[in-house]
Amino acid sequence: MIAQLVPHLPPAEEYRIVFMLRNPQEVVKSQRAMLERLGRKGARLNDAALIRTYTTQLVRVQTWLQAARNVQTISIDYGEALADPGKVAARLAEFLGEPFDRRAAAASVDPALRRQRAG
């Protein structure tokens, strides 16, 4: 689920949200690459404007999450998840509880899928 939709979750439920944090430059590069693959035109904004918009949206969502009484969150750094999947899977297991399979989660990480890098 994209972060911008989180505040629209039904309020009568309880949620545990794993919030994946990724470098905004990588997000923009990834979105542009996806749009190119699909043969679609992207936003007419330059990368700096898209990053500002993305960052503003994330701040809004994080503010909402802090105030939401029915939501527990954990933030996971995308780069850390790729670099040390075992450590991140252990954190997720503690947060999510049983029946989360930390070994299977760690084994499913494929660093080769990180095609867009900041810089």
DSSP labels for 78-117? HHHHHH-HHHHHHHHHHHH-TT--HHHHHHT--GGG----
pLDDT, tens digit (0-9, with 9 covering 90-100), for 40-87: 776 677 888 888 888 998 999 999 999 999 999 999 999 999 999 999
Q: For residue range 74-115, what is the model confidence (pLDDT) as tens digits? A: 999 999 999 999 999 999 999 999 999 999 999 999 988 776
In a domain, 87, yes or no: yes
Q: Count Cα atoms within 13 angstroms, Cβ side, for 99.
A: 0
Domain total in the chain: 1
Q: Which pTM value belongs to this model?
A: 0.78
* Residue 42 covered by a domain: no
Does residue 98 sit within a domain? yes
The per-residue pLDDT for 60 is 93
Residue 97 lies in a domain: yes
The pLDDT assigned to 16 comes to 95
In a domain, 30, yes or no: no
Domain coverage including residue 82: 15-24+51-111
The answer to whether position 45 is within a domain reads no
